[in-house]
Structure 1
Amino acid sequence: MKETHTKQLSISMMRAKFLALLVVTGLLISLSLTSCKSNSEKEADALENLNEANENMENVETEVSNDSVRKANDEEWQMFKREAQEAIAANEKQIISLRDALKKPGNKFTESYTKAISDLEEKNDGLQSRIDNYENNQTNWANFKQEFKNDMDNLGQDIKNATEKNK
């Protein structure tokens, strides 16, 4: 009887081991099937990651490009401002010269000529104020630059005309 009992125990153990092995094998197969992706899924994921990396790289390149544009505009602005201030100072000297001519004895200048010189001085001061108060803003830089140059040229021509009347 002991022998049959031992045989039954042995058969039960073998069944238990077989069942355990079957369960473990089933788990491993199901895990491998659920965790593994097909090649097309892997390719799609890789392509998505590549696209994201390219977008990030483009964003960084755009930021770097914008920074360099801002710096170039800052340099251009500083040069423009310096040149404008030099021109304004030259205009101021010419206006002072015209005012001095008014003070000379025996001048034949009219009241309208005196007012014209005052107007020139106001325009020159207005240009100086525009330069001093301008904030370097890229959106209107080209427009500001064009208008300022135009106004500066007009003022220069007006001063030249007033100087010729003085002769």
Structure 2
Amino acid sequence: MNKVIVVLAIITSIIFTSCKSAQQKESTAKQNYEDTKISNVNQWLAFKTESKAKILDNEKKIAELKVRMNKPGNTFDGLYRTRIEKLEAENNELKSKLKNYNGNETEWETFKSDFNRDMNEIEKNIKDLFR
């Protein structure tokens, strides 16, 4: 019987000493939240900077296409002009989306995925026009 009491006392003391207090748990949770928030902000800033650079690069390429189209001796049809104008509008739309994104954490992954998909499509279409 004494052995059972001693074993129970040891187990109880281990349980109490290994458990964190509610205040410690709350503090840890708050720290994890802050760390995640900082990480998300850093990811957003990096994504925004990279995306702005890609948009600027697209603008330069679109301008090159327009110059090429307007050079004397080159004949381009209306479809070519329409495709360039469409690419320019799509690129401007991405620029606007990036500028107006409010940083909603719950929609971040969806926004990022959709934005990257649209950006890749524009870049592919620009490359196709350079051929």
Q: Same fold (TM over 0.5)?
A: yes
Give unmatched runs, 5+ long, in structure 2: 1-15
For residue 149 of structure 1, the aligned residue among 104, 110, 116 is: 116
Length-normalised TM-score, structure 2: 0.82
Output the CA distance in 2 between the equivalents of 1:95 and 1:57.
Answer: 56
Output the CA distance in 1 between the equivalents of 2:65 and 2:34.
Answer: 46
- Runs of 4+ off more than 6 Å: none
Name which structure has the greater RCO, CA cutoff 8 Å, separation 6+: 2
- Aligned 1:105-116 pairs, distance under 5 A: 105-116=72-83
The offset of 1:87, in angstroms, is 0.5
Output the CA distance in 2 between the equivalents of 1:127 and 1:140.
Answer: 16
Output the CA distance in 1 between the equivalents of 2:113 and 2:93.
Answer: 16
Output the CA distance in 1 between the equivalents of 2:119 and 2:105.
Answer: 21
Output the CA distance in 2 between the equivalents of 1:102 and 1:108.
Answer: 7
Q: Deviations over 1:23-48 (max 9, x none)?
A: xxxxxxxxxxxxxxxxxxxxxxxx8x
Partner of 1:73: 40
Matched residue SS, 1:136: coil
- Aligned 1:118-137 pairs, distance under 5 A: 118-137=85-104
The offset of 1:63, in angstroms, is 1.2
Structure index of larger Rg: 1
Give unmatched runs, 5+ long, in structure 1: 1-46
Partner of 2:107: 140
Task: Give RMSD over aligned pairs.
Answer: 1.4
Matched, 1:63 2:30: yes
Length-normalised TM-score, structure 1: 0.65
